[in-house]
Chains A and B, each alone.
Chain A
Amino acid sequence: MSSSPLPNSPGSPGSPTPSGLSRAEAWRAPLESVLLPIGALLTALFIFGIFCAIAGANPFAVYASIYKAAFGGWSAWQNTLIRAAPLMLTALCTALPARLGLVIIGNEGALVMGGLGAMLVGLGLGTTLPPFAVQLAMGAAGMAAGGLWIMLAGALRHYRGVNETISSLLLNYIAIAFLNHLVEGPLRDSSFITKPSSAELNPANWLGTIPGTRIHFGLFYGLVVCVIAYILIQRTTFGFAARTTGGNIRAAKLAGLPVGKLTLAVCFLGGSAAGLAGMVEIAAVQKRINESLVSNYGYAGILVAFVSRHNPLATVLVAILLGGILASGGILQRSHNLPDATVLVFQGIVFLCVLYSDSLYGKLPWFRADAVSKATL
């Protein structure tokens, strides 16, 4: 491609040089995408404070407790990071398809299917292979199961025009029902009587903890997958094609991009991230599969994806933040007499505030340069 500088036509003197981007303009957009979510979080904190006050607790003491339980010391940090690990992965289930213009909220179902797939493989292989190979196979099975599950929503969307948000939401219920059916029937370990569950995963195949901590290796999986996802979306031709399709599907078709294949592939990748989260939960935390696998990480992942504006690197930070909030659930009950579910109220308020802040992009006067730049052109 030619890049030889040629003189401008006489009809367009004074056209700004490509490097003539003012500093304010360059910083405005990134600043906006950082400050708006922070503003939303502060607003949510404020509303949550009112809620706490009505429930009879001192809001400032509650804030202090949340901070202490989430980030106040190494032990708190470990609790937070343990919860952040699956969140990073489930968030990608929403964040990746979002770059293609799809709103997928089947994270919980993909996590459950991933957990099931991983468990079946883990139980099936037992100790026939070295633990590392079994874990690898479990991870692959979890990713395949979760990926196919969300790909189903993508296929319904592409081939039949079914709304992917609704179908992926409904797929959650099917996945959970399927899990319950299996653990109450074919998979049930009758020697375990606390609740209907499968047999326990062989301890050799458990996902260990990072030495010197209580944090399991799932955190490592989450970090690596988020970085890979970021690179995939921002720096590869596949990511470019996906972003193009998300940016304008008509333009993507004009350029001959395989929109259908992209839809299926990106949905698969998103689902497989949530499936991997299921595998991590099974192999590192739950050890046997039962209803406890449905512990809200999927839904919280939707929140993480939206707060991070579907940027896989921002997902890591937001997952840690939300992991901290989730980790503080117990302390609210113990120290402030607030019900355990109070953190879910907080989570819900945060979600609403973030969705609202999403509608403010480009509307707040401090971030508006459009009027100027458009008129100059």
Chain B
Amino acid sequence: MSRMLENSLDPAPPRTSYQMAADASGVVSEPSKAPPQLEMVEMTKRFGAFTALDKVSLTLKPGTVHALLGENGAGKSTLVKCVMGFYQPTSGAVLIDGESRKIESPKDAHGCGLGMVYQHFTSVPAMTVAENLVLSRYENQQVINWKKEYAALEEFMARSPFKISLKAPVSQLAAGQKQKLEILKQLYLESKLLILDEPTSVLTPVEADEVLGLLRSEVVKGNLSILLITHKFREVQAFADEVTILRKGQLAGNGLVSDLSAEAMAAIMLGEVIKPSVVGSDSQLDYQLTETIDPDKTIDQTGHPLTLKKPVLAIKQIEAKGDNGVLAVRGVNLTVHAGEIVGIAGVSGNGQRELMEVLCGQREPLKGEVRVNDEVYTATREQMFRHQVYALPEEPLRNACMPNMSVAENMALRTFDRSPQALGGWWLNLKAMQRMAQGLVQAFSVKTPSVETPVSHLSGGNVQRTVLSRELSAETVSLLMAANPCFGLDFSAVDFIRGAITAARDRGVAVLLVSEDLDELLALSDRLLVMSEGKFVYESEMADVDLNLVGQRMAGH
């Protein structure tokens, strides 16, 4: 699959071509000091009795990209938070150019030339790019001379690797541009050592390659060193020089990227010599198959091509406005049949989110009609039950969970008003709710202290598993709608979710999959559509997909 990508979109050309591209595009590198060497020595961090980080050492050599790999909870975030001064390590030291430095706050870290780019955006949406850049400075100015600032900013923008309009309000930037702004902030602050926390998780593959490519060219020129936290092997192999792999808070391995295959890295990361594609597809999927298949209730898809053609979801001329009041979905038509996965690709911000929200009942459409099983569907609870519609929206904590309610209550969201969890339709049977939650916690390996713990106390991957267990454990599912279901998750979780989605398809579920990860769509979909500027601009059966054309359509050509 990634081979297909390389052929078509050419995401990972040889490093020298980036160098050339950067030079050709007129990026002038200022004669500036080379980045210092960053060493973390035997870093240990304990929280109470729990050791989150156990004697981990890492050296970021000047002018290199160093990847930090590990599953969710492996200690990557703890390590960089110690370096950035958010946490104080229990023991261990941070050395800058061989000198021990005490870093007690992010401000101290900034003083050492360290800058971090977070997974989530930290810009003020209502302010312009220029205002956000000035705001990011650590000084406390009472008066800002905007004329002077603009002159300085324009000069900065001229030599920066990315170009963003200084006067554009951040709220109007696409996700890719926002991420670039986050990186620009650190360059503006003259951070020489950048820590990037999964910087590409909100970007399309094309955007991701562009951003990482341009950053790499800065590194090659000796202006920067980068510590790249990521889940994606492809990015490690394409952009990193060295890699450090953590597992359960311990150093699991490190070395030159050129010496390691993706399989080797996966094996070190997971602690087992298995291919990533096998991980996670064991007991959980058995659970799926053994517990949820009921031949009488699911559609028999063996040898009945006609039943496969049964349309489940039909969207007719849907139009919807975005949050900013501008028409975001401009009259789309789509039919999803039983037993197929229809993938919708597209650069973020082209109406996919709004379309998904309409289908999930979170947004009122302006025009058009949604039909499920040939009946008008307005996303009421009764219709969801009758047609067995389930959804995995993006950002589960924002879209699909009540953060302050317990894991059990979150898992019961679909079933709390049904027997056995509701007696007589109105009295909650808390015991039944708890029992179900305990079963789901086991079956989907949700790591939580108890089912009474508020779901916001769980890590991202486990929040996702909580939602997944709720949406995929119904006896019969006829329509599943998923948006970026694997966003920001570790390998075993990604594999588990993808396995669950394809297993659902094989059982005859109609699946609509909206994703910004083209790899994911290519791997899972039976039919691929591209959405651009609120319309579908490309549609093809998976066998006939022309990736060059997909890339062009995604880019709006």
A contact residues vs B (CB 8 Å cutoff) = 1-12, 15-16, 18-22, 25, 235-241, 243-244, 247-248, 250-251, 253-258, 370-377
Contacts and interface: CB of A to CB of B under 8 A. Distances in A.
B173 interface: no
Nearest to B435: A3
B324 to A, nearest CB: 16
Contact of B284 (A9, A21, A251, A377): A9
Contact of B291 (A2, A8, A238, A374): A2
Given A2-B291, A8-B445, A258-B381, A247 B428 contact: no
Nearest to B398: A250
Contacts of B440: 1
Interface stretch (B233-241, B401-409, B500-508, B543-551): B401-409
A254 B404 CA distance: 17
A271 B282 CA distance: 54
A45 B465 CA distance: 48
17 contacts: A2-B291, A7-B283, A9-B280, A12-B447, A16-B448, A18-B451, A21-B452, A237-B416, A240-B412, A247-B404, A248-B403, A255-B384, A255-B414, A257-B381, A375-B47, A376-B449, A377-B462
Nearest to B378: A256
Nearest to B420: A1
A59 to B, nearest CB: 39
Given A235-B428, A375-B52, A375-B78, A10 B282 contact: yes
A236 B433 CA distance: 13
Nearest to B272: A10
Contacts of A371: 47
B450 interface: yes
Contact of B280 (A2, A11, A247, A251): A11
A4 B459 CA distance: 25
A251 B360 CA distance: 10
B436 A1 contact: yes
Contacts of A248: 398, 401-403
Contacts of B287: 2, 6
Interface centre among A5, A10, A235, A255 (most CB of B within 10 A): A255
A11 B415 CA distance: 29
Complex A-B, nearest 9 residue pairs according to Cβ-Cβ distance, in ascending order: A247-B402, A3-B439, A256-B381, A21-B450, A1-B436, A237-B417, A256-B384, A12-B445, A372-B47
A254 B447 contact: no
Nearest to B416: A240
A143 B340 CA distance: 54
A6 B420 CA distance: 21
B450 A251 contact: no
Given A254-B360, A254-B399, A237 B422 contact: yes
A236 B428 contact: yes
B165 interface: no
B146 interface: no
A306 to B, nearest CB: 17
B325 to A, nearest CB: 13
A16 B449 contact: yes
B73 interface: yes
Contacts of A377: 73, 447-449, 457-459, 462
Given A6-B442, A9-B280, A10-B272, A235 B427 contact: yes
Contacts of B409: 240, 243-244
A18 B441 contact: yes
Contact of B426 (A3, A237, A247): A237
A249 to B, nearest CB: 9
A3 B436 contact: yes
A2 B447 contact: no
Contact of B381 (A1, A9, A238, A255): A255
A145 B286 CA distance: 57
A1 B458 contact: no
B382 A256 contact: yes
B415 A250 contact: no
A243 B73 CA distance: 30
Nearest to B408: A18
Contacts of A4: 291, 439
Nearest to A232: B426
A256 B481 CA distance: 14
Contacts of B426: 236-238
B453 A254 contact: no
Interface string B349-378: 000000000001110000000000000000
A309 B439 CA distance: 32
A236 B417 CA distance: 9
Contacts of A254: 360-362, 391, 393, 399-400
A241 B417 contact: yes
B447 A16 contact: yes
B81 to A, nearest CB: 10
A11 B492 contact: yes
A19 B441 CA distance: 12
B383 interface: yes
Contacts of A375: 47, 50, 52, 78
B380 interface: yes
Nearest to B454: A29
Given A251-B413, A253-B361, A9 B459 contact: no
A5 B291 CA distance: 12
Contacts of B272: 10
A21 B279 CA distance: 29
Interface in B236-291: 270, 272, 279-280, 282-284, 286-287, 291
A21 B457 CA distance: 13
B164 interface: no
B442 A8 contact: yes
